[in-house]
Structure formats: structure tokens, C-alpha cells
């Protein structure tokens, strides 16, 4: 154990024959951070994670963990631990033997193995379950054994590949919080793979969004949500209405934007005057039953009552829009007219 380590990818590529699974990506994970690899299925997340573990060797580029170049090192020589999607608990060993496995094969003295394994089980709330076989545990418990088995080694880097995908929806929320708490308590550098954007926003210090073997954007959850770097990211993280707009002028980094009759002033984010793309979060659209200043008139096509909020589909001069409105007390009926304004937050220019 050498304390939390950083993980650095330098132009790393992975090819499987003709398929380029990961295409020349670079990123860095700060020591002690939890970074999520997020993206649609098949974009190369698992492959990236397996390259950190050493289960796949990079076809090109350099991988550095804790200042040590591990590009050519086999998995056994790297100080990483991984929690598998299927948990991969050894069915012929008890829970305690599973957790102790990594220590035993590293020839740690027996007494210490037992003590550390017990402590790890305690840490995940499974003290006293050591004598059971994995098949005698529920899904959530198996998941925690897998986590205990990984953290007991006090690895430089902890890896998770879609750890919640085999759990039901309710359990998922709880386990992800447990994982995050444990990670912060131990301060282990962690890389976490998921395709679920909500999960990623909930647990991460930073998120790396991947798309088709390359990194689409990297940043904190807030940056990704509020300043998406591309149409793909804007669409993938949270819902967004993507509409055509026009930049009239750019001054001191501020752009005068016109979209379907609405005039806005937004951070230019590198855009120049001319046609532009605008991302509008559904909650940033306000609908009013009466006309008012700076509002444009829209038509409500569809209204859905969802208990806590209303969802509308409206036809606006900007195009069709999807709206989430918290005012459930005075719903707007489908077919009626309404007037729309934009909240200051949640509207952003998307660089082309």
C-alpha cells in the first residue's frame, strides 16, 4: 500500500483485430478521487477499465499508475482490485475464504489474514457471514462481499464495472451510496463504470463521458450538466431540448442569442456569430397561462400528470419542446395556449 495513487492514460488505444474499442484517449484521475466512465453500451468503458486492471494490454499509448509506467505489466504485477459486474465470487469458497483469497495468495501471515478479512467484512456490514457460501447470500450481500474482497487488499486503485446492474432499482440507490461512503472513508482512488447518468452524477468527483471509443467530455458532474461540450453530451446527461438558434453578436465572451422570438444573453463558450445550437433543460422552461413581457406564445400538445410534477409537450416557435413543470396545482390543459419564458439557469450554447 503506497497511499492513493493517480491513474494517467496517455493516448491509449485498444484494438481487437479490426475493431477499435478505445481510440487514443488521454485522461488523469487524481489520487483519492472517484471518477466515473460514463457512456452508452459498446463505447469502450469496460475495455478502458480492463486496461487499468491489466486484463487487457493497450495496443498503443502509455498507462501510468501512481507514477509507475504499468503499460506492459501483467495484471498480477499491478496494485489494483476490481469488483466485477457478475461479482465473480468463487463458488467453492466461503465468504471468508473469498475475502481472504488475495491476502492468502500474497503469503500474508495467517493470523493477519483472518483479522484483516474480518475487518473488511465488518466494513461492508457483513460481520458474522464469513462461514456462508456465496450461494447462500442475497444479491446485495454478494455485491458487498465482492467489495470487501477488493478493498481488503488496500489497493492503489479500485475498479468497479457496472456494480449495480444486477440489483433491483431500490437496492441500487442504497448500494451506490454505500460504495461512495466507503470510498471516501478509505480514500481509495476509484474508477467506476456505468451507463446510467443518474448513478454517475450521484457518486462521482469527476465524470468522463465516452462515445464511440473516444472521450466526449470530462469534468465535474455540474460542469457536464451545465456546460455540455457537444450535442451528444447535452443529450446524454439529463434531458435537453436541442434547438436551432442564432448568435447576433459576441461581446466580452457574452453572446446575444435569438431563438424563435426569444432574445437571450448567454456565455458564448467559444461560439462566434452565426447559427448555433441551444440546449434547454426541461425544467428551465416556464409556462404561464397569461401573456407577459418577453414571453412567446406556445401551444400545449400533451399534458401528463406525474404526481410530483407535470410533463408537457408544447409546440413553440423554437420547435417542439419537452417541459417539466412543478406547478401541479394549476395544470395547463392539452390544446390550450400558453406563454413561455426561460429561466436564467439551464440554458446553454452548445459548441458545434
Partner 1 sequence: MLNRPLAAWLAAGWAAALLLPWYMLDDGLFSFVWLTEGYAGDRDYAPALFQVLWHERYWLAPLGLFLALPLLAVGRPDNGRGTGMLLVAAGAGGLFWLLLQGFGIDHRGVSLALLEPLVPEGGRQYGMGWGASLVALAFLFFITQGLAAHGLARGDVFVAGSIGLVVALVAAFIFFPVLTILSSALRDNQGALAPFLFLDKLFDGRIWGTACLTGGGRCGSAWNSLILAVLTGLSTTLLGLAFALVVTRTGFRAKRMLRTLTVLPIITPPFVIGLAIILLFGRSGAVTQFVADLLGLDAGRWVYGLPGILFAQTLAFTPIAFLVLIGVVEGVSPSMEEAAQTLRADAWTTFTTVSLPLMRPGLANAFLLGFIESLADFGNPLVLGGSYDVLATDIFFAIVGAQYDQGRAAVLAIVLLSFTLMAFWAQQRWLGRRSYATVSGKGDSGLPLQLPPALRRLCYVVVIPWAALTAVIYLMILFGGFVEFWGRDHTLTLRHYIHAFSVVEGEHGLVWSGAAWNSFWTTLQIAAISAVPTAALGLLTAWLLVRQSFGFKRAFEFGTMLSFAIPGTIIGVSYILAFNVPPLELTGTGIILVISFVFRNMPVGVRAGIATMSQLDRSLDEASLTLRANSFTTVRKVILPLLRPAILAALVYSFVRAMTAISAVVFLVSANYEMATTYILGRVENGDYGLAIAYCSVLILVMLAAIGLMQWVVGHRRLGRRAPSVASAAEQTS
Q: Which of 5, 45, 237, 266 binds ligand ADP (CB under 6 A)?
A: 45
Residue with cell 458564448: 268
300 binds, among partner 1, Mg ion, ligand ADP, none (CB under 5 to 8 A by kind): none
**Contact map string, positions 37 to 76, toward Mg ion, x by CB under 5 A:** ---------x------------------------------
CA distance 155 to 163: 18
Which lies closer to partner 1 via its Cβ, residue 73 or residue 277? 73
Least Å distance between CB 62 and Mg ion? 23
300 closest CA partner among 284, 288, 283: 288
d(CA 118, CA 81): 18
From start to end of 272-345, where are the E strands?
A: 274-280, 285-288, 296-305, 310-316, 319-325, 337-342
80's contact among partner 1, ligand ADP, Mg ion, none, with CB below 5 to 8 A by partner kind, is partner 1
- Residue 204 in contact with Mg ion, rule: CB under 5 A: no
Q: How far is the C-alpha of 181 from the C-alpha of 124, rounded, in Å?
A: 10
Strands (E), 176-309: 189-194, 206-211, 214-219, 241-251, 254-259, 262-267, 274-280, 285-288, 296-305
Least distance (Å) between residue 293 CB and ligand ADP: 48
Sign of CA dihedral 118, 122, 128, 130: negative
Residue 130 contact among ligand ADP, partner 1, Mg ion, none, beta carbon within 5 to 8 Å by kind: none
Min dist CB 7 to Mg ion, Å, is 18
What is the smallest separation between the CB atom of 135 and partner 1, expressed in angstroms? 7
> 39 vs 282, which CB is nearer to ligand ADP?
39
Does the protein bind ligand ADP through residue 38 (CB under 6 A)? no
Distance in Å, CB of 51 to ligand ADP, minimum: 9
Segment interacting with ligand ADP, rule: CB under 6 A, options 44-52, 92-100, 260-268, 333-341: 44-52
State the nearest-atom distance from the C-beta of 303 to ligand ADP, in Å: 37
CA torsion 221→226→232→238, rounded to 10°? 70
**Residue 217 is a binding residue for Mg ion (CB under 5 A):** no
- Please, are residues 328 and 310 in contact by the beta-carbon 8 Å criterion? yes
- Phi/psi at 215 (5° precision): -85, 125
Can residue 41 be called a binding residue for ligand ADP (CB under 6 A)?
yes
Alpha-carbon distance 269 to 36, whole Å? 25
Query: CB of residue 15 vs partner 1: minimum separation in angstroms?
Result: 13
Shortest separation between residue 252's beta carbon and partner 1, angstroms? 52
CB nearer to ligand ADP: pick between 152 and 224? 224
State yes or no: residue 217 binds ligand ADP (CB under 6 A).
no
Helix (H, G, I), strand (E, B) or coil at 6: coil
Burial 143-158, CB ≥16 within 10 A → b, else e: bbbbbbbbbbbbbbbb
Name which of ligand ADP, Mg ion, partner 1, none residue 278 binds, using a CB cut-off of 5 to 8 Å depending on partner kind. Answer: none
Q: Which residues are at the interface with ligand ADP (CB under 6 A)? A: 16, 19, 21, 39, 41-47
Amino acid at each position: 500500500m503506497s497511499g492513493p495513487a493517480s491513474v494517467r492514460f496517455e493516448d491509449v488505444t485498444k484494438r481487437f483485430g479490426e475493431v477499435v474499442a478505445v481510440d487514443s484517449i488521454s485522461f488523469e484521475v487524481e489520487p483519492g478521487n472517484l471518477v466515473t466512465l460514463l457512456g452508452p453500451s459498446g463505447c469502450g468503458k469496460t475495455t478502458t477499465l480492463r486496461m487499468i486492471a491489466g486484463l487487457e494490454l493497450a495496443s498503443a499509448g502509455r498507462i501510468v499508475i501512481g507514477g509507475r509506467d504499468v503499460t506492459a505489466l501483467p495484471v498480477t504485477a499491478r496494485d489494483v482490485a476490481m469488483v466485477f459486474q457478475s461479482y465473480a465470487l468463487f463458488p467453492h469458497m466461503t465468504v471468508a475464504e473469498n475475502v481472504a483469497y488475495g491476502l492468502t495468495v500474497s503469503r500474508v501471515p495467517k493470523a493477519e489474514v483472518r483479522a484483516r478479512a474480518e475487518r473488511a467484512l465488518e466494513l461492508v456490514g457483513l460481520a458474522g457471514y464469513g462461514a456462508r457460501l456465496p450461494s447462500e447470500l442475497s444479491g446485495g450481500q454478494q455485491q458487498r462481499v465482492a467489495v470487501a474482497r477488493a478493498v481488503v487488499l488496500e489497493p492503489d486503485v479500485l475498479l468497479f464495472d457496472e456494480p449495480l446492474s444486477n440489483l433491483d432499482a431500490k437496492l441500487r440507490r442504497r448500494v451506490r451510496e454505500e460504495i461512495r461512503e466507503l470510498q471516501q472513508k478509505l480514500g481509495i482512488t476509484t474508477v467506476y463504470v456505468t451507463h446510467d447518468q443518474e448513478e454517475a452524477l450521484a457518486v462521482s468527483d469527476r465524470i468522463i463521458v465516452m462515445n464511440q471509443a473516444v472521450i466526449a467530455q470530462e469534468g465535474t458532474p455540474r460542469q457536464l450538466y451545465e456546460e455540455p461540450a457537444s450535442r451528444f453530451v447535452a443529450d446524454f446527461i439529463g434531458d435537453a431540448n436541442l434547438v436551432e438558434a442564432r448568435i447576433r453578436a459576441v461581446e466580452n465572451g457574452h453572446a446575444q442569442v435569438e431563438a424563435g422570438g426569444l432574445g437571450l444573453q448567454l456565455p458564448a463558450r467559444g461560439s462566434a456569430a452565426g447559427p448555433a445550437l441551444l440546449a434547454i433543460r426541461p425544467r428551465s422552461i416556464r409556462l404561464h397561462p397569461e401573456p407577459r413581457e418577453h414571453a412567446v406564445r406556445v401551444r400545449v400538445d400533451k399534458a401528463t400528470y406525474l404526481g410530483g410534477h407535470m410533463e408537457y409537450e408544447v409546440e413553440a416557435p423554437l420547435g417542439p419542446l419537452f417541459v417539466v413543470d412543478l406547478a401541479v396545482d394549476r395544470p395547463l390543459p392539452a390544446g390550450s395556449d400558453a406563454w413561455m419564458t426561460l429561466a436564467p439557469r439551464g440554458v446553454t450554447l452548445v459548441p458545434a
